[in-house]
Amino acid sequence: MGLAVPTAVMVATGRAAKAGILICGGEAFEKARKVDTVVLDKTGTVTEGKPSVTDADVADDVLARIAAVERMSEHPLAAVVVLYADARSLPRLEATSFETVPGRGASAVVEGRKVAVGNSPFLESLGVATSAGAAQAATFATAGKTPLLSAEDGKLTAVIGVADRIRPTSRDAIARLRKEGLKVILLTGDREATARAIAAQAGIDDVIAGVLPQGKVDVIRRLQAEGRVVAMAGDGINDAPALAQADVGLAMGTGAEITTEAADITLMRADLSAVAAALELSRQTMRIMKQNLFWAFLYNLIGIPVAAAGLLSPVIASAAMALSSVSVVTNSLRLRRVRLP
């Protein structure tokens, strides 16, 4: 009986590692088996996490000032704008008085001008009228692009389109999750139209958009309050609190280190098929554990009374105990042959 659970966990952990899935012990298997809802971050999880500037009808001097602000930001899209500006060999300007609002945008003083870059709500919170760029931003969003707006001294100066393609394996992996009866939700800080466009490409019906990093934790808590067992997959620093809150946190190993530390399962494969594989392996592992316990109990249930009645010789009893251990180990080794997505 002492071998029933640890043997199955050991074999399953090794099988998972061969598939690029690192699992933190038997408790993760137990929790993953009960998952009925999978929440997916967008950037770097459903998408490739390699966004690029696709539309930028903006003067070089304005773009140089935008890049000066973005160079001080840690947001992934900020780095994309900086790379785009550097590719155009624009001068590197100095930014001071830098301020940022996570998930919204950033501002700084560049060449004596107050420059702000971010989404519409961020600029509007600074008193910037964004109506002139609303139509362009909506067009970008409908096409699955993220619109970045910029302003100088309270006036809108540019609307930049940034796009990130979905991973080639995302649609098939999501279809498999849904086929298993799991509810799949796309959770992102992007605006609703952009998120819906990406979700449609990936085959996701449920979308929760415009969510700040702390808001992701609140979404997970709300789903749990509804009685759902939630798995959350993400790769960014902002995803770490939500991964820790989820019943099962799955970190894309290509993302931030803090994300992997907060997760129960780390996916070294940069695609969502590993999420389906991890959940499938957890179900198979728990099934093997139950079978092991059944056989262990059966041997003892039959053997102990017979031995106590003096009807079982020591030699046969020893053989039966050895056979029970061999049965448990052999059954656990079946996990090595489990086919994963």
Instruction: Give the pLDDT confidence of 199-225 residue by residue, as tens digits.
Output: 999 999 999 998 887 789 999 999 999
**Catalytic residue list contains 205:** no
The beta strands (E) that lie in 218-273 are given as 230-234, 248-252, 265-267
Compute the average pLDDT of residues 92-113: 93
Give alpha helix (H) positions in 21-59: 26-33
What is the bridge-based pairing of β-strands 146-152 and 155-163?
Answer: antiparallel
Q: What is the pLDDT of residues 34-82, one digit of tens each?
A: 899 999 988 888 988 888 999 998 999 999 999 999 999 988 789 999 9
150-167 residue pLDDT tens: 999 999 999 999 998 898
The residues, any chain, with a CB within 8 Å of residue 121's CB and separated by 6 or more, are 104
pLDDT band for 255, please (50, 70, 90 cuts): low
pLDDT of residue 48: 85
pLDDT at residue 266 in the model:
84
- Tokens 């934790």, residue located: 217
Total residues belonging to the chain: 341
Structure tokens at 280: 């499938």
Angstrom distance (rounded) from CA 169 to CA 142: 22
Question: With the C-alpha atoms ordered 173, 166, 248, 25, is the resulting torsion angle positive or negative?
Answer: positive
List 36, 41, 86, 206, catalytic entry: 41
Q: Structure tokens of 176? A: 């498999």
Amino acid 317 reads: A
Q: What is the mean pLDDT of residues 186-195?
A: 88
Q: What is the pTM of this model?
A: 0.77
Taking CA atoms, 240 is separated from 45, 200, 321, in Å, by: 13, 26, 46
pLDDT at 256: 57
How high is the mean pLDDT of the chain? 86
Q: Return the CA Rg of the chain.
A: 26
pLDDT at residue 49 in the model: 80
Identify the structural domains of the chain with CATH numbers, from first to last. 25-49+166-275 (3.40.50.1000), 52-163 (3.40.1110.10)
Residue with tokens 């959350």: 232
pLDDT band at 1 (very low <50, low <70, confident <90, very high): low
- For position 259, what pLDDT does the model report? 62
Q: DSSP label at 19?
A: T
Residues 289-307, mean pLDDT to the nearest whole number: 75
